[in-house]
Chains A and B, each alone.
Chain A
Amino acid sequence: MRGGMAKGNMERAASGETFIFRRPTIGVLTPVAALGAVFIILLTASPLLNLFIAALAAGSRGLSSLLSGSVPTLLAKTLLLATLATLWALLLGVPPAWILTRTDLPGRRLFRVLGLLPLAIPPYIGALTYITLLGPVGPVNKAYQAMGGSGQLVNIYGLWGGVLVLGLFTYPYILLLAGSALESSNPAMEEAARAAGHGPMGIFVRVTLPLLRPSLLAGSLLVFLYALSDFAAVSFLRVTTFTTEIYHQLNTRFDQRGAAALSAVLVLLTLLVLVAQRKNLGRRSFVQRRSGAKPPTIYPLGHWKVPALICTYLVLGGSVFLPIALLLYQAGSAATIFQTLASGHRYLWNSLWTAAVAATAATVLALFVSYLIDRRKGPVGLLLTAATQLGYAIPGTVLGLSLILLYNTYVPWIYGTAAMVVLGYLLRYLPQAVQGSAAALSQVDPNLEEAARGLGRSSWQALREVTIPLIRPGMVAGWTLVFISSIKELAATLLLRPAGFDTLPVRIWIATIEVDFAVAASTSLILIATTALPLFLIRRLDSGISQLD
């Protein structure tokens, strides 16, 4: 042993005798890290800043006419739509979340996976299917007329159609968040309530629901923000909201400043919601996820089994089975789908590569950002967090517009290339990647990196050999989320794409406008397939992660 030691020492003396001088730091950051942080903040914040400048440049006259005219009604309509859609999504999401996690419903595991499927169906495709079903010439209205009714039984166009569709295709956010909160909640609390003499109903109302509040709030926020930002579904359903109005200003009236002013109002609205949410969460602490503890109580359904099954089937039916069946019906035959795929493979390719590049770039940036935020506390981290969360506050239409305004003016050679599309995806969905790697990173003990450094690795090597292998599942999950979101993105793509650069969503948009529903439906099916696959992979990974700890 001693012999080995002496040799080791000599080797060390030979290799490591260099003097190393104290490195300069800017606050707690090395110059490279500081430069990177500045770059990311510039990249993420500049479009929005420029947008506000453009909005102000519209002048007080233009602004005041805008504010006195359409804006108040537009605001009321948009808020009403978002609120109703959120309530509808809560109604659709909470009961199945409870039934699927806390009861002995047969097949609940399969249902939980299927319950995620609507996330793979973008609401604009959902809108298409419901227009097919409930539109003026859809089977429902035709049957009604055949039975002697006059006019329409239901009118899918307008506010209620928008509410119906947005809720149906966003409730999985609530199902997911409420479901995992229900699964990880401490059974001791419910047992305490039971010991105090409450039945299952009383326990749900008095204990479970209040404990669910943070996750319900978070889920509702996602739905609400989605409804505020949605462009394509509401366009198809002919609901006028901020986003459709911005698009209208931009594409038919060519009024960039008016569009910028409207966008600024919408962004402020979104930021307001986000700040309110932050404050709310700040006062209450998050429900801590426990691992390895007792699983929650499972209630036997007894004679409630049939109603519970019907409830689950109704929700899934309306959001998964029915839309897919309608799409298949619209597409006509497998031959149509293959034909669409064969003639339009370059649209698929465009979708795939832009989303993949954006997801990869987002993952790399997210690793850097989450590392700085997690390991170097301080103002830089806060600023970076805020900057990278901006994507949440920017609807696709607004992001498209602000990027056009900024890059057309200052970097015209990027404008009009597919890079703009990638950039749009990157900025819009960077928060998802940051969340993925930040969550994973917070699970990694900083001691592990120090241990690696004590064993002769530089910080960079420690990151590569220890940290990255450990957070890989989180990074992959983040990548997949960005990829899925990007591949579905329509509004930003419409605005940012170079002429003739069509992606799958753009094809669906064009086909719908051209009333070619067979192509729209078969392209939709291709798009759903491309997003469903990674969604299932991520689900597998998720269970892999929970097995690890």
Chain B
Amino acid sequence: MTEVIRLEGVSKRYGGGGIAAIQEISLVVGKGEIVALLGPSGCGKTTTLRLIAGFEVPDGGSIEIGGRIVANERIFVPAERRGVGMVFQDYALFPHLTARENVAFGLHNWDAERSGKRIEEALDLVGLSELEGRYSYELSGGQQQRVALARALAPSPQVVLLDEPFSNLDADMRAQMRQDVHRILRQAGTTAIFVTHDQEEALMIADRVGVLNQGRLEQIDQPDVIYHTPATRFVARFVGSADFIPGLVQGEGIVTELGTFPNQQGLPSGQAVEVMIRPDDIELVADLAGEATVVTRHFRGSDNLYCVQLPSGRTVHSSQGSTRIVESGARIAVKTDPTHVVCFYEDDTTR
């Protein structure tokens, strides 16, 4: 895998040594890869993007693009000389230029023939060749985004950065654009980093997802790995939902009130842990003599989310099919069979 982006121990503070926006972030992105930076607002994901783009100057660490150092403690290559494409949250199309002129904007150093061809290619790729003469106010949100993407891709940047690319779109448009953008990026073979607070978006589009929390990169891995084996409690809660039940390691098993799970991590006997349980790991079995009680049911369209109280008084959540109705207050048995057993030490707040 050829490296396109390398961040090493990058930090950024705002307000004269005040609040740390990001701390010691290290990250490598390979050629053609699509990486999502996921986190709640204020976690530093946009700052990371802006540091890579060259709109912010890091306070520490180094950034390499295509094997060239673009920022460290001595060097700072400004945005216009980094060869990075950027798609802004509000698209930032130039309102005084047509769609075509927007796409052409980054090709000012190309000769006319080549740039003309390139503009056609880029507009074609995003499927907007027919609307090239329109101004941004004559385009819908989705069309504006396509223009923004074509504009970013046209100069063939080493990497395209997308800042919350779908947050300004309506729900139905968003689903469509996710697929389209993913297809376009793949087709162009472009390396891309995008920032989002929407886990579904990140899991769907990205080859790898990096989860940020309070300026730190908590975990970066493939979407299924992030979901099934989160490295921290924060990741477990932020990506999908999770309950944590106490357990005790006894040799090959971890004993909990939901049964004994295999000790996959090889934890020492006698260790008190908390086991992560996803709602889709819990099965509700009709049993009038069951020890658990249904507390609430929330119908969510595609499924029912049940809150179930265990004999200990602890509650866990269970996701059931949309037609599976169990009344609140009903006695029920709980069965669980997680494929991945994820444990965190009880006394540690992060692990």
Contact = CB atoms under 8 A, between A and B. Distances in A.
Interface of A: 1-2, 4-9, 11-13, 15-23, 445, 447-448, 450-459, 461, 465-466, 469-470, 548
Contacts of A452: 94, 105
B81 A20 contact: yes
Interface of B: 53-55, 57, 66, 68, 74-81, 83-86, 88, 90, 92-96, 105-106, 108-109, 118, 121, 125, 151-152, 155-158, 187-190
B188 A21 contact: no
Contacts of B188: 1-2, 5
Contacts of B152: 454
Contacts of A548: 95
A453 B80 contact: yes
Nearest to B151: A455
Contacts of B155: 8, 455-456
Contacts of B151: 451, 455
Contacts of B93: 451
B78 A453 contact: yes
A465 B96 CA distance: 10
Nearest to B81: A16
Contacts of A461: 80
B123 to A, nearest CB: 13
A6 to B, nearest CB: 8
Given A20-B81, A456-B109, A451 B86 contact: yes
Nearest to B86: A454
B76 A21 contact: yes
B75 A20 contact: yes
A1 B187 contact: yes
A2 B151 CA distance: 16
Contacts of B68: 17
A477 B351 CA distance: 61
A17 B28 CA distance: 21
B15 to A, nearest CB: 11
A22 B77 CA distance: 8
Contacts of A456: 80-81, 106, 108-109, 155
A16 B83 contact: yes
Contacts of A16: 81, 83
A9 B65 CA distance: 12
A291 to B, nearest CB: 12
B167 to A, nearest CB: 14
A241 to B, nearest CB: 48
Given A16-B83, A456-B109, A22 B57 contact: yes
A326 to B, nearest CB: 46
A12 B106 CA distance: 12
A351 to B, nearest CB: 34
22 contacts: A1-B121, A1-B188, A5-B156, A8-B157, A11-B109, A12-B158, A16-B81, A16-B83, A19-B77, A20-B78, A22-B76, A445-B90, A445-B92, A448-B92, A448-B94, A450-B79, A454-B80, A454-B106, A456-B106, A461-B80, A466-B96, A469-B96
A2 B108 CA distance: 20
Nearest to A447: B92
Contacts of B187: 1
Nearest to B68: A17
Contacts of B86: 450-451, 454
A11 B158 CA distance: 12
A5 B189 contact: yes
Which of B84, B85, B152, B155 has the most CB atoms of chain A within a 10 A radius of its CB?
Answer: B155
Contact of B158 (A1, A9, A455, A459): A9
B94 A1 contact: no
A465 B157 CA distance: 21
A454 B90 contact: no
Contact of A20 (B53, B77, B96, B118): B77
A18 B187 CA distance: 31
Contact of B121 (A4, A13, A453, A465): A4
